[in-house]
Amino acid sequence: MTRLYTRLFVDGRSPLAGVLATVTASVSGRVESGTVFGAGCALDARTNDDYSSQALQRDPADFVYFPYTVEIEAAGERMSLKQYLGVVGTVMQALAGAGMRVVAACDWEDRLPGRGRLGL
């Protein structure tokens, strides 16, 4: 079975706490030890280790240097890809709706809202 995993790169004026709050609200989730559980998924909002303000000044669209990531993984094996894509799409739209730029890195980017890119 295919591992249902997506990494979102997120950029915006919001601090990490704002990203986490938006993610939590989008899946009606609960936070346990820094991980959001909701809609059948585990979601981790983190500071991106590769974040570089200088790289973003050179190329604002170079998403690998965005300041935050959100890793989304199906919490169980019963979730269909269609259900999973719905959750990822909801999270992406919530983040973009909060004024953030979002780029998905996964095997199914073209099946996500904006073909995996919102707010750019």
pLDDT digit string (tens) for 16-33? 999 999 999 999 999 988
pLDDT digits (tens, 9 = 90+) for 50-59: 998 898 889 9
User: For each successive 10 residues of the chain (120 residues), what is the average pLDDT?
Assistant: 88 92 96 92 95 88 94 88 95 97 95 93
Q: Long-range contacts of range 43-47, CB-CB < 8 Å, 24 or more positions apart?
A: 43/70, 43/71, 43/72, 43/73, 43/91, 44/69, 44/70, 44/71, 45/10, 45/16, 45/19, 45/20, 45/69, 45/70, 46/16, 46/70, 46/71, 47/16
What DSSP line would sit under 31-79, residue for residue? Answer: EETTEEEETTEEEEEEE-TT--HHHHHH-TT-GGG-SEEEEEEESSTT-
pLDDT at residue 53 in the model = 87
Domains of the chain as residue ranges with CATH? 5-118 (3.30.70)
Q: What pLDDT score does 1 carry?
A: 55
pLDDT for the residue numbered 77: 76
Q: What pTM value is reported for the model?
A: 0.94
Structure tokens at 77: 């094996």
